[in-house]
Amino acid sequence: MNYRHILEEIYREIQPFAYEGKQADYIPSLAQVNPDQFGIYLHLLDGEHYSLGESEVNFSIQSISKVFSLAIALSLIGKQLWERIGKEPSGSAFNSLVQLEYEHGKPRNPFINAGALVLTDVLLSHLENPEDFFISFVRKLAHNPAIDYSHEVAMSEYSCCYLNASIAYLLKHHGNLQNSVDDVLRFYCLMCSVEMSCKDLAQAFSAFARSNEPFSHGGVQLTPSRVKRINAIMQTCGFYDEAGEFSFLVGLPGKSGVGGGIVALCPAKYAIAVWSPRLNARGNSIMGMKALELFTTLTTQSIF
């Protein structure tokens, strides 16, 4: 397969969408990012890799961090996690409050904000030094010790996270947060603020494509069974109210973030990350989704 040509063809075909949508601006720092950037990085499990565009530029991973916190929380408390968080697609926006009220404070899944706030609470309760542990876990997964939080982006989000605060108070009201709302919000915003490139993300998510060689760090293990479950949740819930559409168009488990990043993987074959800040109404990168749809169409390598 000539991956280089395929990436070049993708790049040409997505140009008509280059100025559609706009970057997230509800987090003030993200509004400063130049929206006209695009990067893609393909990491094949046999060791080959291919890239194009701004594939080594760092960006805010935002909700992609939820996959890392799920992996850690599952390893820390196992099945008990599912008493506090569901595993069904939500069909509603990532920051919706309505469903959480109807469902008495049990978030539908770990990848909507309500679910990720509960994951944050689990990390705070069970790790001695959650901030250090989380970033060292991500650095090791991505083989890049330079990966770090952006305290500026974290503060920028924290200073106006009224909706997430409302969600956290509702969770607290229903007894689904053990730590203080403020501690949960601060650490949640910090995890979302991590900056990585497409290259870092493709490397990190290759661990979810390679379940025969379990990754482990500080007692957290990505066992084959855990990887299977995390991938299943990425497949059904990774794109909020666009999870069905992503599954239909692309056919891979993956996760998006409002920084414009999307990472997806094909078990036993590859992990691929794309980044372009302009988003559609559901908060997913427009060029990123188009590029991945073309990639699985041109290579015929999806999970289906």
Please identify every residue annotated as catalytic.
63, 66, 188, 240, 258
Task: Quickly list DSSP for the chain.
Answer: --HHHHHHHHHHHHGGGTTSSB---SSGGGGGS-S---EEEEEETTS-EEEEESTT--EE-GGGHHHHHHHHHHHHHGGGHHHHS--S---S-TT--HHHHHTTT--S-TTSHHHHHHHHHHHHHH-SSHHHHHHHHHHHHHT-TT-B--HHHHHHHHTT-HHHHHHHHHHHHTT---S-HHHHHHHHHHHHT-EE-HHHHHHHHHHHH-TTS--EETTEE--HHHHHHHHHHHHHHTTGGGHHHHHHHT-S-EEE-TTSEEEEEETTTEEEEEE---B-TTS-BHHHHHHHHHHHHHH--S--
Decide if residue 234 touches ligand GLN (CB under 6 A).
Answer: no
In whole angstroms, the minimum distance from the beta carbon of 95 to ligand GLN comes to 5
Least distance from ligand GLN to the Cβ atom of residue 117, Å: 9
For 34-46, letters b (16+ CB in 10 Å) and e give: ebebbbbbbbbbe
User: Using CB under 6 A, which residues numbered 50 to 69 contact ligand GLN?
Assistant: 62-63
Whole-angstrom CA distances from 39 to 93, 114, 130, 201, 241 are 26, 30, 31, 12, 24
Residue 211 or 242 having the CB closest to ligand GLN: 242
**Least distance in angstroms from the C-beta of 280 to ligand GLN:** 12
* Side-chain-side CA neighbours of residue 232 (13 Å): 9
Residue nearest to ligand GLN as judged by C-beta position: 63
CB of 111 to ligand GLN, least distance (A): 9
Nearer to ligand GLN, 229 or 282 (CB): 282
CB of 30 to ligand GLN, least distance (A): 9
192 binding ligand GLN? (CB under 6 A): yes
| Binding residues with ligand GLN: total (CB under 6 A) | 11
Q: Is 231 in the site for ligand GLN (CB under 6 A)?
A: no
**What number of other Cβ atoms are within 10 A of residue 140's Cβ?**
18
Q: Judged by CB, which is closer to ligand GLN: 63, or 150?
A: 63
**Contact flags string 102-141 toward ligand GLN, x per CB under 6 A:** -----------x----------------------------
* Nearest approach, Cβ of residue 11 and ligand GLN (Å): 24
Closer of 77 and 165 to ligand GLN (Cβ): 165
Is 95 an interacting residue with respect to ligand GLN (CB under 6 A)? yes
Of 107, 253, 257, 267, the residue at the interface with ligand GLN (CB under 6 A) is 257
Q: Is 94 in the site for ligand GLN (CB under 6 A)?
A: yes
Contact of 166 with 139, CB cutoff 8 Å: no
Residue 164 interacting with ligand GLN (CB under 6 A): yes
**C-beta closer to ligand GLN: residue 52 or 258:** 258
**Which of 157, 200, 242, 293 contacts ligand GLN by CB under 6 A?**
157
Residue 127 vs 258, nearer CB to ligand GLN: 258
Could you list the residues that contact ligand GLN (CB under 6 A)? 62-63, 94-95, 113, 157, 164, 192, 257-258, 283
